[in-house]
């Protein structure tokens, strides 16, 4: 049963009758049991049920909300925040939890959690060591050979590149790599995370000074960039968090020559947590006047195994 149908059944049917329905799968019945426990005021039990479903990627976002709500209603604010930040799901705190609190009239709690999120990320940034195997400098690519691998299809194109835009530039490791390669003369980046921008200025000051930065969401910032103003526009591990396909269309609008994506592919969905967003890159780019000129799924069995690299070239006007 799809989660929308299950939620509708929960809203309209007797929960205890629903548990015995032959049409429900065991995970769906467990989800309903969580609601039964919640309605009975058994918030700890309900939280444990929803947390188990969440960690097993079953009705993931809905279980996430429900597990958090159980802790909120039990008054366990600190536990709720810990639940949201455990397991590298800190981004969900900003994307889901804080708006969720505000929508439910819990402004004071939202401000408290927002402050804790800020402290958490500031502490994280301060704790990163220059040579740490898991430090922030390794966040995108753990070594330069993978940068070479990612940009190889672009380096092999015969055309010169004067301008480059990195959508989701993070702390600037990719832009710095391109600048050191003298790949282009002008660089720009879009980044929503202020902590990453601060780290960019600290770690790569020369590249930071040479980069035009657009700080904010890709949806908002790309609209500020002129048509056909960049020879290359690229993203890596960014668009799986952006549902709006207009971001892809804006990237195409801005690109004078090429658009390059290193993003997760739908066929690998079983390897990823639910909640990642998959786009029809080839269909969208074709409709925007681009042809696919390179496509590969890196054979690396580490993080990058779930990525597909797609390079699109603007179609010549007839």
Cα dihedral 223, 96, 90, 143 in deg (nearest 10): -30
Q: Quick one: three-class SS letters along 212-258?
A: EEEECCHHHHHHHCCCCCEEEEEEECCHHHCCCCHHHHHHHHHEEEE
Strands (E), 163-225: 163-167, 186-191, 211-215
**Residue-level pLDDT, tens digit, the chain, 318 residues:** 555 566 666 665 666 677 777 777 888 888 888 888 887 888 888 888 888 888 787 777 678 778 877 887 787 766 776 776 554 444 555 555 667 667 767 777 677 666 665 655 555 455 444 444 434 444 445 468 888 989 999 999 999 999 999 999 988 999 999 999 999 999 999 998 887 898 899 889 999 999 999 999 999 999 999 999 999 999 998 887 787 899 999 999 999 999 999 987 754 332 233 345 678 899 999 999 999 999 998 754 333 335 789 999 999 876
Domain 3-127, CATH 3.30.70 — does that match? no
What residues have CB less than 8 Å from 168, skipping those under 6 apart? Answer: 190, 191, 192, 218, 235, 236, 237, 238
Per CATH, the number for 136-314 is: 3.40.50.150
Largest pairwise CA distance in the chain: 68
pLDDT at 223: 96
Dihedral of alpha carbons 54, 60, 66, 69, sign: positive
- Alpha carbon 55 to chain centroid, angstroms: 18
The pLDDT of residue 36 is: 83
Look up the pTM and report it. 0.60
Rg (CA), the chain: 22
Structural contact between residues 204 and 136, judged by C-beta atoms closer than 8 angstroms = no
Whats the size of the chain, residue-wise?
Answer: 318
| Residue in this structure with the two tokens 């799809």, named with its chain if needed | 2
What is the rounded distance in angstroms from the CA atom of residue 118 to the CA atom of residue 123?
8
> CA angle at residue 234 from 228 to 238, to 5 degrees?
130
Cβ–Cβ under 8 Å, residues 275 and 311: no
pLDDT at 62: 74
Q: DSSP strand E in 7-83: where? A: none
Q: Report domain extents, the chain.
A: 3-127, 136-314
């Amino acid at each position: 049963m799809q989660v929308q149908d299950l939620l509708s059944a929960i809203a309209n049917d007797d929960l205890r009758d629903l548990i015995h329905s032959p049409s429900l799968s065991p995970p769906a019945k467990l989800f309903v049991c969580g609601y039964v426990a919640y309605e009975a005021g058994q918030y700890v039990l309900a939280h444990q049920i929803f947390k188990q479903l969440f960690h097993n990627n079953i009705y993931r976002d809905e279980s996430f909300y429900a597990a958090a709500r159980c802790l909120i209603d039990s008054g366990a604010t600190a536990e709720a925040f810990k639940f949201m930040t455990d397991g590298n799901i800190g981004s969900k705190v900003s994307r889901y939890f804080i708006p969720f609190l505000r929508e439910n009239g819990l402004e004071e709690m939202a401000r408290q959690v927002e402050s804790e999120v800020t402290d958490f990320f500031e502490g994280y940034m301060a704790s990163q060591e220059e040579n740490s195997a898991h430090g922030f400098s390794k966040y995108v690519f753990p070594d330069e050979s993978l940068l070479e691998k990612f940009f190889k299809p672009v380096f092999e194109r015969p055309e010169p590149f004067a301008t480059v835009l990195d959508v989701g530039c993070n702390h600037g490791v990719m832009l710095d790599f391109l600048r050191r390669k003298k790949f282009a003369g002008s660089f720009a980046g879009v980044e929503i995370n202020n902590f990453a921008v601060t780290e960019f200025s600290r770690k790569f000051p020369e590249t930071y000074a040479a980069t035009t930065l657009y700080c904010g969401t890709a949806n908002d910032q790309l609209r500020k960039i002129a048509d056909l103003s960049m020879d290359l526009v690229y993203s890596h591990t960014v668009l799986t968090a952006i549902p709006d396909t207009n971001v892809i269309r804006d990237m195409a609008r801005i690109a004078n020559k090429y658009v390059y994506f290193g993003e997760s592919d739908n066929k690998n969905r079983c390897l990823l947590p639910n909640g990642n967003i998959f786009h029809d890159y080839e269909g969208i780019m074709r409709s925007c006047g681009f042809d696919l000129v390179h496509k590969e799924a890196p054979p690396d069995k580490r993080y990058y195994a779930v990525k597909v690299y797609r390079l699109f070239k603007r179609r010549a006007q007839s």
